[in-house]
Structure 1
Amino acid sequence: MGAHPKRKISKMRRDSRRGHHALEFPQFITCPSCRQLTLPHQACHRCGVYRGRQVVEMNNERAAQ
């Protein structure tokens, strides 16, 4: 036999616990060097710039444009 609850969990307590389960849509920022949408606090995946510095070497033609 499995465990059984000793008391009923009220709807308010149940729903309050589940209030943190919602998914959030990721927030995007615009890269100042290439105007591409990117995630905050991360290097741009198109040009490799983070906080005004080139941190990732990009050797494709799209980064030079």
Structure 2
Amino acid sequence: MTPPDIKGSTREEREHFVVEAFRCISDCDNCGACQFLKGRPAEELYADYIEGRRDFREITIEIRNSNY
């Protein structure tokens, strides 16, 4: 899935993307979303993207490189 561009999407579309991208599939061995998110809600970590302030990829790189 490709994240919606901030300029060409609504807040609701961006929020829907984040929720769906990190939706729990109850198969932790094959998913890994919880580990990537470090136990925090995706909506919290991607709040700046949802609000249209920062790019999805920028936040993803920050999460990968941080010790949240």
> Considering the TM-score relative to the shorter chain, is it more than 0.5?
no
Higher relative contact order (CA 8 A, sep 6+): 2
Give the TM-score normalised by structure 2: 0.21
Structure number, greater radius of gyration: 1
Answer 1 or 2: which has greater strand percent.
1
Question: Which structure is higher in helix share?
Answer: 2
What TM-score results when the alignment is normalised by the length of structure 1?
Answer: 0.22
